[in-house]
Structure 1
């Protein structure tokens, strides 16, 4: 499981170093392979270990190729999906098209979300955190069926 946010500098070749605490799990449990694609509604990238991505692909396979919305959804996720291998130093290369999509330059944030990571441009991450905090504070969590009984 992946959790926490890590500030990571991307090098001139478009590589980021996966934090050491995740490297062994990615190498041993997932053969060092991750799948990277675009998020469907945010300017960030999604990074899935291979077996987690295979579950996403199984769901995508069930969507229609004739329904325009479902086909567009599949095209967005699958059309941008790239296999990435951890190198011997625990780095992955972010393909140029994906770097462009997420406006990635040097300063990035890698965020663990249990079964996947999000990769953000640092200031975009901070902005969405601010927006998310404002949203949480403006809502009555008790009116949300899933959050009403959530306790920490």
Structure 2
């Protein structure tokens, strides 16, 4: 399970260092395959390859073919494989970096079965008190959670 957030940077070559704690849960080592794609929010989603395959299998089985085609176009069509190198880094493709506005500091947040990669600016906006904040919705979600 991936949980927690890390403030990071993407280097000039477009590489992102995956924190050791996350790599350990991925069976750490060079050659590990991840998949980076654009999600529905203003961030990128990074999946272990097996989890991405599980989701694409679900897309193929969807009864609503219009939704399936949309997901294939956006979610699958924008996906890029990313191999973890010996330093624990992956390359984030320029087109995806641009789409998610990752031109400065970033936040990598665990999302149970994946990571979300946010620009730090958008991350702070989302968790702040401004009009784009999720605070009100979060209160409602916590009320529905059995703890």
TM-score, normalised to structure 2's length?
Answer: 0.87
Call closer, same or farther: CA 1:121–1:140 in 2, change over 3 Å.
closer
State the distance in 1 between where 2:57 and 2:89 align: 28
State the distance in 1 between where 2:127 and 2:60 align: 32
Asked whether 1:51 is paired with 2:50, we answer yes
Residue 119 of structure 1 aligns to a residue whose secondary structure is strand
Call closer, same or farther: CA 1:33–1:140 in 2, change over 3 Å.
closer
Partner of 1:150: 146
Q: Give 1:86-101 correspondences, 5 Å limit.
A: 86-101=84-99
Larger Rg: 1
Unaligned runs of 5+ in 2: none
RMSD between superposed Cα atoms in Å = 2.2
Is 1:43–1:120's contact at 8 Å kept on the other side of the alignment?
Answer: yes
Unaligned runs of 5+ in 1: none
How many residue pairs match? The answer is 143
Q: Which runs of 4+ in 1 moved over 2 A?
A: 24-31, 66-70, 134-137, 139-142
Q: Give 1:56-75 correspondences, 5 Å limit.
A: 56-63=55-62, 67-75=65-73
State the distance in 1 between where 2:141 and 2:4 align: 26
Partner of 1:12: 12
State the distance in 1 between where 2:141 and 2:57 align: 35
Q: Give 1:132-147 correspondences, 5 Å limit.
A: 132-137=134-139, 139=140, 142=143, 147=144
Q: Give 1:32-51 correspondences, 5 Å limit.
A: 32-40=32-40, 42-51=41-50
Is 1:26–1:49's contact at 8 Å kept on the other side of the alignment?
Answer: yes
